[in-house]
Amino acid sequence: MTRNFPTRSLSLRRSVLSVPAINVRALEKTHALDCDAVIFDLEDSVAPERKAEARKNLKSFFSGTPLVNKERIIRINALDSTFDNADMELVLALEPDAVLLPKVDEPQDVMSISDRLTDADAPESLRIWAMIETPRGILNAAAIAEAGRTPGSRLDCFVVGLNDLRKETGVLPQPGRTYLVPWLMQVVLAVRAYGLDAIDSVFNDFKDADAFDAECAHARAMGFDGKMLIHPAQIEAANLHFGPDEAAIAEAEAIIAAFADPAADGLNVINANGRMIERLHLVQAESLVHKARLIAERQTAK
C-alpha cells in the first residue's frame, strides 16, 4: 500500500539567522535584515548564568514590534537540562512559529516535545525544528523524519549542526566537507522521504565570503533548502544561492504553460520543445514559481 505524506512546506527558508537571545542590540537589528527566518538562541550562545536574562530579553522583544515576513524560531536548551521547564514556559507564552530542539537523537525526542505542546494547548501552527548534530542523530535521521509524520507530531524541519558533529566524531573542518558529505546527504534523503525541509549547518568564518559562497553552492547542489547563518553579512549570499534564478523561473513557467495547453489534458508525459516532461516536473515547477512569488512579495513589502 502506498503511504502518502504531506507535501513539503512552501515557506522561504533560504537564510536562517541565529541570534543570541542575550544580545539585545542584535535582537533589535533583526527587523531590518533580509533573512527569511530568525532563530532566537537560548542554548549554545548563552552562558548558563545568563539564561534567565536571555529569556527576559526574548519576552521583551516579542512584546514589541513584531517581525515582518520572517519565521520566528526559539532554540531551547536540551530537554534534559536544568533550563528545560523555564524554556518551554517561555515558548508557550510567546508562541513563536517554531521551537528548535537541540541534539535530537531519536524519534522519541520529537514526540516528547510534540506531546508537551499539545498537552499545553499550544496552537497547531507552533511547529518543531530538530537539530541533527550527533552521531546518533545522523544514524536515526530517517526514523526521526518518519516520526515527524505520525499523528500528533509537529516536526517541520531538520537543521544540521556540524560543529557538534565534528567534535563528537573527530572529522576535521576541511574545505569541501568531503568526509561529511555522506552524512549530509543522509539527512537530505530522510527529509525528502517524509516531506520535511533541511537547513544546512553554519559556516563559522563569516569574514571569508568566498568560502561561504562556495559552501552555499555546495549545499544547494546537495538539495538543502537554506543555510543557518551566524552573521548578517551572510544573508545576501544565502538568499542568492537558495533562491531560484531567472533561468530556472522561466523554465518552470514554460513547463506550467505546456501542461496548461488543452492538448496536454489527460497526459502524464508531454513533449515540450524536444524535451520529455512528466507531471512530477509540473509539481516541481509550481513549487519553484510559488517560491519566486514569495520572494517577490517580500521585496515589494520592504
Q: Give residue 121's region: left, alpha or beta (phi > 0; psi -120 to 50).
A: left
Residue 75 in marked binding region: yes
Indicate the burial class of 65 (C-beta count within 10 angstroms; 0-12, 13-18, 19 or more). Answer: exposed
| Helices H / strands E in the chain, number of each | 12, 10
Positive or negative torsion for Cα 289, 243, 224, 178: positive
Known binding residue 133? Answer is yes
DSSP class of residue 28?
H
Closest by CA to 107, choosing from 124, 127, 130, is 130
Query: Rounded to whole angstroms, how far apart are CA atoms 100 and 114?
Result: 12
What's the distance, CA 168 to chain centroid?
Answer: 23
Q: Is 286 annotated as a binding residue?
A: no
Alpha carbon 193 to its chain centroid, in Å, reads 16
Q: At what angle do helices 84-94 and 51-62 cross, to 10 degrees?
A: 0
For residues 137 and 144, is the Cβ–Cβ distance under 8 A? Answer: yes
Which H or E run includes 73? strand 71-75
Binding residue positions: 75, 133, 164
- In the annotated binding site for Mg(2+), the residues are 133, 164
* Binding-site entries for substrate: 75, 133
